[in-house]
Chain A
């Protein structure tokens, strides 16, 4: 019998049912580890498979991955503390987003999660003061291109990224969770107002808003790259805090469709698959587009979602101008390889 070529579903199954990995042979394990690494979820897999009998070398690889995310957690929390200190004189909430928020609040979604940049949310009215304070504390610009810089400032939901000159870590300062050019305008004031303090001087979005943010990022902004990890975040957030009040909160931000879709897709990948719709299959096809060598696959589907992400992000005339400018600079197009 011909075996089915491995894709993202192999990882989804291992996370959903850790014992299902007992049936894997060496080839299956090799594919699973490569896919998990490519999706930046090897630490999450290590957490889920803790206590499951795995081949000794797999155990060593997962142990290394666990150590790596533990060190990543320490560094992420230290970076959040550095930002807190830099911004302490400004009397505004520093709200942590995504991975750093999950580990600072000690959530299930933070277990084994790899964390890249530090993402924070601040009031738009204080952006200039905050930018100045960060520059003062050693952060520097990384986008030397004037078009990119101007584009960020005029149209994006965040400042152009800053990187710290000593610690080499990036910070993304958001003032809302979707680009200003998007058709949907979430309620940024409510995001800030309902945040909770998770550590002295460090805040995180309310549990409902964390799901809203994940859904907004996935479906109203990005091209679903990293979707497996984002949907795992959603799955863990919902598992921990339930869905009570979530639909109302999503509707208030204008993101009810996106949140409902995030819940369905997270359930399809990591849960019981409840409420799955036909169109969800296309999204799942995109999200699981990864082969046993860790390569992205299904280029046509990915390109379709890439175009869709820009379509959602900005009006047609602006999109045409933007893509033209980026194309001339040779930058546009989904990541390949």
Chain B
């Protein structure tokens, strides 16, 4: 393809090809501190292309392709090309990842132990992970937790943190401006702004960590906390996994081991300060 970019995010390498220069230039800027895929061979290919040749220039719109595709995926305007690239990479992971059990969760680490946060979209897992990474935690990822069935460890996948709508201002209030990507307005998920993980998170991204606590945060409620039974954690995590079925027995064994060995809590929070305090309290009591 005319323009391309390669990057390693945690243990996974990507190659992104594009009919346009603009999305590639943005990726080069935002992922500048990241290494290249191991041995120069990426695990997955993403393609950003025009549905018809003239759509490269006339009302350019970006189709998302790659090794794995969703047949009905709608194209995005070229101004949202960066988002298309990120969606393409997520799609390869969601549909193609077979080494790790993929859990839709954010992960931060402290003292070699990992805190996993999962929940419905809007629960605040990306925002919380970004905020915790500004308070001494290592950011391991805001979207996917990679559980290694062989070792039971979590691998980092610290792609750009995808901040949406009001959480953009929340994080921007605490972080330097040069760690943000362009403001993407009017996307299918509202307003999006990408947040670049800190240098430490990138430098240590190949180090896995032992899962020590699973949290189910919910934003918009009075502060509350409860334990979550392993059986409930199991069911919620199968729903939060895109490849649980595809992994077969390995997936079942890995998940069973995770939920029976790691405590889980649900926390409700009305604001940032309350969320951080509750996370710290749950972490101390794990």
Partners in one complex: yes
Interface residues of chain A, those whose CB is within 8 Å of chain B, are 25-27, 29-30, 33-34, 37-38, 55-58, 60-61, 63-65, 67-68, 71, 74-75, 293-295, 337
Whether A67 pairs with B41 at a CB distance below 8 angstroms is no
Would you call B38 an interface residue if the criterion is a C-beta within 8 Å of the partner chain's C-beta atoms?
yes
Flag if B247 contacts A71 (CB, 8 Å): yes
**B-side interface residues, number (CB < 8 Å):** 25
Q: Which 9 A-B pairs have the closest CB atoms?
A: A26-B40, A55-B39, A57-B38, A57-B39, A64-B98, A71-B248, A68-B98, A29-B41, A37-B67
B193: interface (CB < 8 Å):
no
What does DSSP make chain B's interface, helix, strand, loop or mixed?
mixed
CB A36 to nearest CB in B, in angstroms, measures: 10
A337, B99: Cβ atoms closer than 8 Å:
no
Within the complex, the shortest CB–CB distance from B56 to chain A, in Å, comes to 14
B21 to chain A, nearest CB (A): 17
* Cβ–Cβ < 8 Å partners of B98 in chain A: 64-65, 67-68
- Docked complex: B5-42 residues within 8 A CB-CB of A: 13, 15, 17, 37-42
For A74, the closest partner residue in chain B by CB is B248
- Tell me whether B43 is interfacial, beta carbon within 8 Å: yes
Q: How far is the CB of A125 from chain B (nearest CB, A)?
A: 36
Which single residue of chain B is at the shortest CB-CB distance from A61? B43
Q: Which of A57, A64, A295 sits near B47, CB closer than 8 Å?
A: A295
Q: Is the CB of A30 within 8 A of B42?
A: yes
Indicate if the CB atoms of B67 and A57 lie closer than 8 Å.
no
Beyond A37-B67, A64-B98, 20 additional pairs, beta carbon < 8 A = A26-B39, A26-B40, A26-B41, A29-B41, A30-B40, A33-B41, A55-B41, A56-B38, A56-B39, A57-B13, A57-B37, A60-B99, A67-B98, A68-B246, A293-B1, A293-B17, A293-B47, A294-B47, A294-B67, A295-B47
14 intermolecular pairs with C-beta atoms under 8 Å apart:
A26-B39, A29-B39, A29-B40, A33-B41, A34-B45, A38-B67, A57-B13, A57-B37, A58-B39, A58-B41, A63-B99, A293-B17, A293-B45, A294-B47
The CA-CA distance from A34 to B14 in the complex, in Å, is 12
What's the nearest-Cβ distance from chain A to residue B274, in Å? 41
Q: Is B49 an interface residue (CB 8 A)?
A: yes
A25 CA / B45 CA spacing, docked (Å): 17
Chain A residue, CB-CB nearest to B4: A293
Contact check, A61 vs B41: say whether CB atoms are below 8 A apart. Answer: yes
